[in-house]
Amino acid sequence: MMFWNGGGWPFWEVALMWVGMIAFWGLLIWAVFALVISATRPGQRGGQPGPEEGDRRGGDPQRILAGRLARGEIGIDEYRRLRDELASGDARNAASGRTGQ
Protein backbone atom coordinates (compact mmCIF):
# COMPACT_ATOMS: atom_id res chain seq x y z
CA MET A 1 0.00 0.00 0.00
CA MET A 2 1.12 3.48 -0.74
CA PHE A 3 0.49 5.15 2.63
CA TRP A 4 2.31 2.66 4.79
CA ASN A 5 5.67 3.32 6.35
CA GLY A 6 5.32 7.06 6.72
CA GLY A 7 3.95 7.65 3.25
CA GLY A 8 1.38 10.36 2.66
CA TRP A 9 0.69 13.45 0.71
CA PRO A 10 3.50 15.94 0.37
CA PHE A 11 2.93 19.34 1.99
CA TRP A 12 2.59 21.17 -1.33
CA GLU A 13 -0.28 18.91 -2.44
CA VAL A 14 -2.19 19.54 0.78
CA ALA A 15 -1.53 23.29 0.60
CA LEU A 16 -2.67 23.40 -3.04
CA MET A 17 -5.85 21.57 -2.13
CA TRP A 18 -6.61 24.08 0.67
CA VAL A 19 -5.90 27.07 -1.56
CA GLY A 20 -8.18 25.67 -4.25
CA MET A 21 -10.97 25.00 -1.77
CA ILE A 22 -10.74 28.51 -0.28
CA ALA A 23 -10.71 30.08 -3.75
CA PHE A 24 -13.75 28.04 -4.83
CA TRP A 25 -15.84 28.99 -1.79
CA GLY A 26 -14.69 32.61 -1.97
CA LEU A 27 -15.74 32.91 -5.61
CA LEU A 28 -19.06 31.21 -4.91
CA ILE A 29 -19.85 33.58 -2.02
CA TRP A 30 -18.78 36.60 -4.09
CA ALA A 31 -21.02 35.52 -7.01
CA VAL A 32 -24.07 35.17 -4.75
CA PHE A 33 -23.33 38.54 -3.13
CA ALA A 34 -22.94 40.24 -6.53
CA LEU A 35 -26.23 38.78 -7.77
CA VAL A 36 -28.11 39.96 -4.69
CA ILE A 37 -26.60 43.45 -4.86
CA SER A 38 -27.31 43.86 -8.58
CA ALA A 39 -30.91 42.70 -8.13
CA THR A 40 -31.63 45.09 -5.26
CA ARG A 41 -29.65 48.21 -6.25
CA PRO A 42 -31.79 50.98 -7.74
CA GLY A 43 -30.69 52.29 -11.11
CA GLN A 44 -29.63 48.89 -12.34
CA ARG A 45 -31.46 46.40 -14.58
CA GLY A 46 -33.09 44.48 -11.77
CA GLY A 47 -34.05 47.45 -9.61
CA GLN A 48 -36.02 50.59 -10.16
CA PRO A 49 -34.98 52.92 -12.97
CA GLY A 50 -32.47 55.64 -12.21
CA PRO A 51 -32.91 59.28 -13.20
CA GLU A 52 -31.44 58.91 -16.68
CA GLU A 53 -33.44 55.76 -17.42
CA GLY A 54 -36.61 57.58 -16.41
CA ASP A 55 -35.76 60.32 -18.92
CA ARG A 56 -35.47 57.81 -21.74
CA ARG A 57 -38.78 56.16 -20.92
CA GLY A 58 -40.77 59.37 -20.99
CA GLY A 59 -41.62 62.18 -18.70
CA ASP A 60 -41.80 65.93 -18.90
CA PRO A 61 -40.34 67.05 -22.25
CA GLN A 62 -39.12 70.35 -20.82
CA ARG A 63 -37.17 68.50 -18.10
CA ILE A 64 -35.67 66.12 -20.63
CA LEU A 65 -34.65 69.00 -22.86
CA ALA A 66 -33.07 70.87 -19.95
CA GLY A 67 -31.19 67.70 -19.00
CA ARG A 68 -29.81 67.34 -22.51
CA LEU A 69 -28.60 70.95 -22.39
CA ALA A 70 -27.01 70.40 -18.99
CA ARG A 71 -25.17 67.27 -20.21
CA GLY A 72 -23.91 69.15 -23.27
CA GLU A 73 -25.73 66.98 -25.79
CA ILE A 74 -27.27 70.04 -27.46
CA GLY A 75 -26.27 73.69 -27.76
CA ILE A 76 -28.16 76.73 -26.49
CA ASP A 77 -29.50 77.58 -29.97
CA GLU A 78 -30.97 74.14 -30.48
CA TYR A 79 -32.31 74.20 -26.91
CA ARG A 80 -34.17 77.46 -27.59
CA ARG A 81 -35.52 76.16 -30.91
CA LEU A 82 -36.77 72.92 -29.37
CA ARG A 83 -38.19 74.73 -26.33
CA ASP A 84 -40.16 77.03 -28.64
CA GLU A 85 -41.42 74.06 -30.65
CA LEU A 86 -42.55 72.35 -27.46
CA ALA A 87 -44.31 75.52 -26.30
CA SER A 88 -46.11 75.93 -29.64
CA GLY A 89 -47.07 72.26 -29.57
CA ASP A 90 -48.50 72.63 -26.06
CA ALA A 91 -50.50 75.67 -27.20
CA ARG A 92 -51.93 73.70 -30.15
CA ASN A 93 -52.88 70.79 -27.88
CA ALA A 94 -54.58 73.12 -25.39
CA ALA A 95 -56.48 74.93 -28.17
CA SER A 96 -57.72 71.69 -29.71
CA GLY A 97 -58.99 70.48 -26.33
CA ARG A 98 -57.13 67.21 -26.62
CA THR A 99 -60.05 65.42 -28.27
CA GLY A 100 -57.93 62.35 -28.98
CA GLN A 101 -58.94 60.66 -25.74
Write the CB contacts of 34 (distance below 8 Å, at least 6 apart in sequence). none
Angle 55-56-57 (CA atoms, 0-180°, nearest 5)? 95
> Which of 65, 88, 87 lies closest to 77 in space, CA to CA?
65
Per DSSP, 100 falls in state T
- What does pLDDT average to in each consecutive run of 10 residues of the chain (101 residues)? 64 92 98 93 57 57 90 92 86 59 47
pLDDT of the residue at 47: 46
Instruction: Tell me the whole-structure pTM to 2 decimals.
Output: 0.38
